[in-house]
Chain A
Amino acid sequence: MQQTSALYKEILASDNHWFETTLVIGESGRLIDNIGDVITFGGTAILVDTGGPESGFDETTLMSLRTSHAVFNQNVPVVGSAVSGEIDITMIEPAGNIPKMARLAPYVRATDGVRVSEWLPKGVYFTDTRYTSHNDNGLNVLTIHGYDSMLMFESDYPSDSENTYPLLDTAMVQHIAESINISVDPRTFERMNRGYTFPLPVGYSSREVLGFIAASYGGNFVISDENQLLLIKLGDLPKETNYLIDAVGDAITFGGDRILV
């Protein structure tokens, strides 16, 4: 579970709440309005840093946004997988050029109409395919399909002149993650606590190596919503939290706090 603020929890605990979405495309861009037209100042487009959720496209531009993830690479419980997450976007085509393999970062926040929570990152993806069509309103509709960073590991294990092999498993995971400039979720290293070492995996892709390491711990790797490499162990589900719930399963709260039984 991603860490959230108390405000977020309060809003979710309220009877009347909903979520807002924003999608950031690219690392930087030109400031645009809700239908994708470039906003100018004195005839000049305004460059903005699109790394944050405030500069993203919201529901007025987004027609649909869907992400999908799987821990297993088969339709059965297995270990040793490193499955890539995917994103499908349909939106009004924005002005400007979306570069190849553009970064796609959706965010979500909770609101009750008065208060809004912080934006929660919901993964980072990269454009794979795109096409544009025209809808009945005469707008250009852009459809994008992308994958998260896991797909980048489908390349040879990165060359390594700094480490000596056999190498500790955590160092190998760190080396792999750094090769594509992402970080490792701290929970991953907490779970990799047996100190296995591996020889230099000549002829293997990074994703294969991640699979072998995950298998060594009876788990699977995914890219988390924080865009970090996360190991999920098969038998590592938390104990069921026995909150008191109502007839439909909603938590019963007392003064905003759920009642643990």
Chain B
Amino acid sequence: MGQTIGVNIAKRAYDVEISQQFDGYSAVRIYVGTDDEGNAVVYEAGDTTGRTLEIKNDFGTQQMAEDILADIQGYQYQPLVANSALLDPAAEMGDGVTVNGVYSGVFVRATTFGRLMASDISAPTDQEIAHEYSVDTAATDRAFSRFVASTRSAISLTSSEIRAEVARATTAEEELSARITINADSITSEVTRATEAESSLSSRITQNADNISATVTEVGKKLDQTRNNSSFGWNLTSTSFSLNANNSQNIFYADRNGIKIRGNAEVTGKITATSGFIGGSSGFTINATAIYNGKSSLTANSAGVYIGTNGIALGALSADNIHSKFQVDSAGNLYAQSGTFAGSVYAKNIKSGGSTYGYFDGSGITDGSINGGYKLETGSVTGGVDYWNQPTGSLGYSAVAYGNTDFTGTLDQVGINASDISTLSSEIATIQAGYFNSISTSSILFGDYSLYVASDGVVHGSYVG
């Protein structure tokens, strides 16, 4: 370790240049950087009566500014240059020297080794203060101006990162800044626009080896001071692409298997799908031949709906265990467990009865319910009609009982042809057996009496007992 001393090298220098001594330091100003709001953070100590020492220190504090000022207050830097000075080789950087009676320090030194060990030494300066003709703005003031100017830029280069940044305060209320950061594994570019306290917008694109992503973020502040934030971005990898909102929700995702959309979709063009769902995987299923929900075929025995190329069906199988509770097949065959037709029903052939078709319940038929030219064909009524209450309209009939039950009232021949009667011979024979002795073409014999139509056309009765 050496000592720090003043060394007098006097006139033993080939070329000496001595400039005007600086004013003494009276202030220290430390530039720390910018705070979260983008405002310059500067610590100052002292006053403007003398020279200001400006310092850039990311870790600066107010205490440092005051401590440094305490050290240098009043110190007057003396610029000088002494070339080929025969300086003691033992002199170190920062030692004091006297050159031509002027005392300063060794702040720059280039030594040529040899027998003389001559050195070019200097206390350098390029400050305006060294000139008699000064300008209005000192270099220190310009440095500060550069620091807080409306537009400022910075490029930093370290072993691990390159960063370029430009910031501009467009107005007192708005600031723009852009930054590109490069390191070994990523490139990031960012642009930010802050508008007073109302909102800020920022966009960022990040490129890594395995993905590229971009995000635009807005941080808004409502009048009630609550935040109204939103962001939207995308991410591209070697296998997928996604759009996300608010940094988390993927609203669109695409990979080699297809795409997924979360939320609403509006498509004005054509959509082609060979399979899929409506209403999620528990909703309607789409395939090439059908759309269904809970019922995967026309006759699947499960509740649901099925719409396919072979028909339409609703509900599980009906009691016949063959048809769905409602079913229309592609041939037009309709099956329904039950139904009500409030309007007109047109049918070429209505079948009722038996285990297949059940019973025809006519309790709902009222006067006038059946009208028009209706006709019961042979064999069309089997098993008889329990009770047929004829209308009592213009014909004046009260009621007719037919089949296995009694006729009550009057059986009139009108509307019944002889041929029709002949076809009922078996029934008449039954009548005969129950109520008449015999029936011939000319008379009816019942009990001890005979009824016949005489030639005069009058029905005569006689006791034949």
Residues of A within 8 A of B (CB): 1-4, 8, 12, 18-21, 59, 62, 64-72, 75-80, 106, 108, 110, 120, 122, 154-156, 185-187, 194, 196, 198-199, 201, 203-205, 208, 212, 215-218, 222, 224-226, 230, 232-241, 243, 245, 248-251
B114 CB-CB contact with A under 8 Å: yes
Assess whether B89 is in contact with A108, with CB atoms less than 8 Å apart: yes
25 example contacts (A-B, Cβ-Cβ < 8 A) are as follows A1-B2, A1-B3, A1-B5, A1-B95, A2-B91, A12-B88, A18-B115, A19-B115, A20-B115, A21-B114, A62-B113, A66-B111, A69-B110, A75-B124, A75-B126, A76-B125, A106-B113, A156-B160, A204-B158, A216-B68, A222-B93, A230-B94, A237-B103, A240-B103, A249-B100
Query: A residues within 8 A CB of B406?
Result: none
Assess whether A240 is in contact with B55, with CB atoms less than 8 Å apart: no
Query: B residues within 8 A CB of A245?
Result: 8, 10
Query: If the complex has contacts A80-B57, A216-B59, are A249 and B11 also in contact, measured as CB distance less than 8 A?
Result: yes
Assess whether B92 is in contact with A249, with CB atoms less than 8 Å apart: no
A65→B5 CA distance, assembly (Å): 26
Given contacts A186-B1, A239-B6, 6 further A-B contacts (CB under 8 A): A1-B3, A1-B88, A2-B2, A2-B91, A234-B53, A241-B6
Query: If the complex has contacts A59-B114, A72-B124, are A198 and B59 also in contact, measured as CB distance less than 8 A?
Result: yes
Query: B residues within 8 A CB of A8?
Result: 90
Query: B residues within 8 A CB of A76?
Result: 124-127, 139
A203→B30 CA distance, assembly (Å): 21
Residues of B within 8 A of A (CB): 1-12, 22, 25, 28, 30, 53-61, 64, 67-68, 71-72, 75, 77, 88-96, 98, 100, 103-105, 107-117, 123-127, 139, 158-161
Assess whether B71 is in contact with A71, with CB atoms less than 8 Å apart: no
Query: If the complex has contacts A75-B125, A238-B4, are A69 and B114 also in contact, measured as CB distance less than 8 A?
Result: no
Contact of A216 among B53, B57, B110 (CB under 8 A): B57
Query: If the complex has contacts A19-B89, A156-B160, A235-B25, are A216 and B60 also in contact, measured as CB distance less than 8 A?
Result: yes
Query: B residues within 8 A CB of A203?
Result: 158, 160-161
In the complex, residue of chain A having the shortest beta-carbon distance to the beta carbon of B51? A77
Min CB distance A107 to B, Å, is: 9
Query: B residues within 8 A CB of A239?
Result: 6, 96
Chain B at the A interface: SS class? loop
Query: A residues within 8 A CB of B125?
Result: 75-77
Assess whether A2 is in contact with B92, with CB atoms less than 8 Å apart: yes
Query: A residues within 8 A CB of B6?
Result: 237-241
Query: If the complex has contacts A154-B159, A187-B1, A218-B28, are A120 and B89 also in contact, measured as CB distance less than 8 A?
Result: yes
Assess whether B75 is in contact with A235, with CB atoms less than 8 Å apart: yes
Assess whether B4 is in contact with A187, with CB atoms less than 8 Å apart: yes
Query: A residues within 8 A CB of B72?
Result: 218, 234-235
Assess whether B113 is in contact with A156, with CB atoms less than 8 Å apart: no
Assess whether B57 is in contact with A215, with CB atoms less than 8 Å apart: yes
Query: A residues within 8 A CB of B114?
Result: 19, 21, 59, 65
Contact of B77 among A77, A80, A156 (CB under 8 A): A77
Query: If the complex has contacts A1-B3, A1-B5, are A19 and B94 also in contact, measured as CB distance less than 8 A?
Result: no
Query: A residues within 8 A CB of B2?
Result: 1-3, 226
Query: A residues within 8 A CB of B109?
Result: 68-70
Assess whether B8 is in contact with A224, with CB atoms less than 8 Å apart: no
In the complex, residue of chain B having the shortest beta-carbon distance to the beta carbon of A199? B59
A1→B2 CA distance, assembly (Å): 5
Assess whether B60 is in contact with A215, with CB atoms less than 8 Å apart: yes
Ranked 8 nearest A-B pairs via Cβ = A249-B10, A235-B72, A232-B94, A235-B75, A218-B68, A68-B110, A65-B113, A2-B2
Contact of B93 among A66, A71, A215, A217 (CB under 8 A): A71
Query: A residues within 8 A CB of B55?
Result: 79-80, 215, 218
Assess whether B89 is in contact with A208, with CB atoms less than 8 Å apart: no
In the complex, residue of chain A having the shortest beta-carbon distance to the beta carbon of B88? A12
A79→B68 CA distance, assembly (Å): 11
A208→B90 CA distance, assembly (Å): 29
Assess whether B5 is in contact with A238, with CB atoms less than 8 Å apart: yes
Assess whether A67 is in contact with B57, with CB atoms less than 8 Å apart: no
Query: B residues within 8 A CB of A59?
Result: 114
In the complex, residue of chain B having the shortest beta-carbon distance to the beta carbon of A231? B94
Contact of A218 among B1, B53, B90, B116 (CB under 8 A): B53
Assess whether B4 is in contact with A249, with CB atoms less than 8 Å apart: no
Assess whether A77 is in contact with B107, with CB atoms less than 8 Å apart: yes
Min CB distance B17 to A, Å, is: 14
Query: If the complex has contacts A72-B107, A75-B126, A80-B55, are A205 and B158 also in contact, measured as CB distance less than 8 A?
Result: yes
Assess whether A18 is in contact with B116, with CB atoms less than 8 Å apart: yes
Query: A residues within 8 A CB of B11?
Result: 248-249
A205→B58 CA distance, assembly (Å): 13
Min CB distance A181 to B, Å, is: 19
Min CB distance A88 to B, Å, is: 9
Assess whether A3 is in contact with B3, with CB atoms less than 8 Å apart: yes
Query: B residues within 8 A CB of A250?
Result: 10, 12
Contact of A66 among B89, B103, B112, B139 (CB under 8 A): B112
Min CB distance B241 to A, Å, is: 32
Assess whether A19 is in contact with B117, with CB atoms less than 8 Å apart: yes
In the complex, residue of chain B having the shortest beta-carbon distance to the beta carbon of A111? B115
Min CB distance B65 to A, Å, is: 10
A250→B11 CA distance, assembly (Å): 8
Assess whether A67 is in contact with B1, with CB atoms less than 8 Å apart: no
Query: If the complex has contacts A71-B107, A80-B56, are A218 and B71 also in contact, measured as CB distance less than 8 A?
Result: yes
Min CB distance B377 to A, Å, is: 103
A106→B117 CA distance, assembly (Å): 12
Assess whether B64 is in contact with A216, with CB atoms less than 8 Å apart: yes
In the complex, residue of chain A having the shortest beta-carbon distance to the beta carbon of B58? A212
A19→B88 CA distance, assembly (Å): 10
Query: If the complex has contacts A21-B113, A75-B126, are A248 and B28 also in contact, measured as CB distance less than 8 A?
Result: no
Min CB distance A210 to B, Å, is: 12
Query: A residues within 8 A CB of B10?
Result: 245, 248-250
Assess whether A64 is in contact with B92, with CB atoms less than 8 Å apart: no
Query: B residues within 8 A CB of A67?
Result: 110-111, 113
